[in-house]
Amino acid sequence: MACKKFLTLNNGLKMPSIGIGTWMAPDHEIEAALDLALKVGYRHIDAAPVYLNEKAIGRVLKKWLDSNQIKREDLFITTKLPPPANRPSCVEKTLRNSLNDLQLSYVDMYLIHTPFSVPETGGDFERDANGDIVIDPTTDHIEIWKTMEKMVELGLTKSIGISNFNKKQIQRLLDNSKTKPSNLQIELHLYFQQNELVDLCKANNIVVTAYSPLGSRGIVDLKKSAGVKCESINLIENPKVLEIAENHKKTPAQILLRWIIQRDVCAIPKSTNPERLQQNLNIWDFELSNDEMSSLSKLDKGIRVCDFSFFKGMEKHPEFPW
């Protein structure tokens, strides 16, 4: 059940259009899930140090690579520069830490995780007396990007990209960089279709990756626990999705993912459930018709789940919203 569609990056590297997300998966869960994911054909893994499980991911990768069950060049591994390290002086040491934890000598994609930075604390993000997140307002994307380019020269990553950047921030980077970003990772799903950003990226040869492609129950729970009002979005119960799923004898999640893939966008659904994890990769034996694609495209509700409002005070950042 291997991934059958690859997206070619602007440096020629091919990225499998389905990867596995690893956020909100504790060590024991992600180890078992990744082991199964590699068995059933996943080759693209989306990681980040803020998910606090890169060591566990590294243990699974080492087992598979050392036993020659898989070749390094057949894997596509992404990790990210976290907000507390979002400054030029931190890029190399932070990437080297991730490589050490992942037990790899290089990653395939290194992304700037967020357009904002917070002070380097070595632990939890700092809060002020009001409980607001402390932001570092001096973030300079152009200077960070120059250091990201050096990471490619050093062979520590094959490609570099960005995540959660808005149109203005992407354009500024395009206008001021030698190496153009290969990848933009953003929230994208049926109710937040991101047409403008997808068009901007296609026009500039940037592959888009959809995070939270199934609507991310995790972020909704996180927001609720932070006391932020949040609409629950239950994409898999949308009547149109259910109707199309019934027509193709597929699950609603498979329809949601297939709709993304047919837009030439990559998707990184997270599942640590054996059945759902396999389901999410098994989307190659059917195709959505033009009518189905356009009826799904009419369902955009502009509902953004991951607006970082779970970080109280984020709205004070000079470039908010992303």
**Nearest distance in Å: CB 143, ligand NAP:** 21
β-strands 6-8, 14-16: how paired?
A: antiparallel
Q: Which of 51, 110, 191, 211 is catalytic?
A: 51
Element (H, E) at 66: helix 54-66
The residues in 114-173 that bind ligand NAP, with binding defined as CB under 6 A, are 163-164
Q: From the list 42, 116, 192, 211, which residue makes contact with ligand NAP (rule: CB under 6 A)? A: 211
**Nearest distance in Å: CB 264, ligand NAP:** 18
Q: Which tokens is 17 given?
A: 């259009």
Report H helices in 165-289: 167-175, 195-203, 217-225, 239-248, 252-261, 274-281
The residues in 46-85 that bind ligand NAP, with binding defined as CB under 6 A, are 46
List, edge to edge, every strand of the sheet that includes 157-163.
20-21, 44-46, 76-81, 107-112, 157-163, 183-187, 207-211, 266-267
Nearer to ligand NAP, 180 or 217 (CB): 217
Rounded CA gap, 306 and 69, in Å?
36
Interface stretch with ligand NAP, choices 145-153, 199-207, 237-245, 273-281 (CB under 6 A): 273-281
Confirm if 139 and 212 have CB atoms less than 8 A apart. Answer: no
In sequence order, what are the residues at sequence separation of 6 or more whose Cβ sits closer than 8 angstroms to the Cβ of residue 302? 191, 192
Q: From the list 58, 84, 115, 213, which residue makes contact with ligand NAP (rule: CB under 6 A)? A: 213
Nearer to ligand NAP, 164 or 182 (CB): 164
Nearer to ligand NAP, 156 or 164 (CB): 164
Q: From the list 236, 242, 299, 303, which residue makes contact with ligand NAP (rule: CB under 6 A)? A: 236
Burial environment of residue 114 by CB neighbours within 10 A (0 to 12, 13 to 18, 19 or more) = buried
Q: From the list 183, 212, 238, 309, which residue makes contact with ligand NAP (rule: CB under 6 A)? A: 212
| Active site annotation includes 211 | no
Residues that bind ligand NAP (CB under 6 A): 21-23, 46, 113, 163-164, 185, 211-219, 236, 251, 253, 268-273, 276, 279-280, 306
Q: Which residues are catalytic?
A: 51
